Amino acid sequence: MNSPILVTGASQRVGLALALELAQAGHTVVTASRSLRADVVHPNIIQFRADLCLEADRLALIEHLRQRHDGLRAIIHNASVWLDDSLDNLETMFRLHVEAPYHLNLALGDMLGRVEKADIIHICDETASRGSKSHIGYAATKAALQNMVLSFAEKYAPTVRVNGILPGLLIFKEDGDDAYREHALKKALLEFEPGARPLIDAVMFLLESQYSTGSHVVINGGRHLKNRIA
């Protein structure tokens, strides 16, 4: 069956590394991002330009998948923006972190159901479980994304497994200075920049897992334990 993995937000950083790893492992990967990468040339990667904040772009992506593929092996909701708190930014983050995954999960559920074992993976954030005084809107919308794991897991069981991944810091911001890097590292028990590997490993585990649904994999280097009150 012609059943690719859909990865959103795969034009840079962790999403790009994940798409390339999946393609190298033999999966057909459809990426959905606002921009295309001319330097990404792999026979197993199909790039689709879409601003997932826009319903029209999501509908075009859905139609593209339906016209060209029999089913879907997985949907990995990786698209994300980390914006400061404001009403406009809250709306943008809600559309990307909540509305887009909700829409795509519902609209593509039948395509996932055609595969013997399919997966939906929500890439959430470790702040979804603890909040963030400096990025309230970001943490709140990621918490909604995390909560939807539970609902969709129940809705699509037993054929489709639905799980979430809660990463902490994986890759430093490109414009961060030395002070930012030192401060960011001190937030975790494991004080190093791990790169994309922990998230890739978590995705691969969930794709192979037969007995996990409605669950969350935390990869935050022990941030939830640092500075814990005894």
Domain assignments of the chain as residue spans, ordered by start: 5-219
d(CA 59, CA 57): 5
Mean pLDDT by 10 residues, the chain (230 residues): 92 95 97 94 96 98 97 97 94 98 98 97 91 90 98 97 93 74 82 91 97 96 73
pLDDT at 1: 63
Q: May I ask the CATH class of domain 5-219?
A: alpha beta
pLDDT at 186: 85
pLDDT at 227: 64
Residue 138 designated active-site: yes
pLDDT at 137: 94
pLDDT at 95: 98
Query: Which candidate in 138, 156, 180, 211 is catalytic?
Result: 138
pLDDT at 72: 98
pLDDT at 176: 65
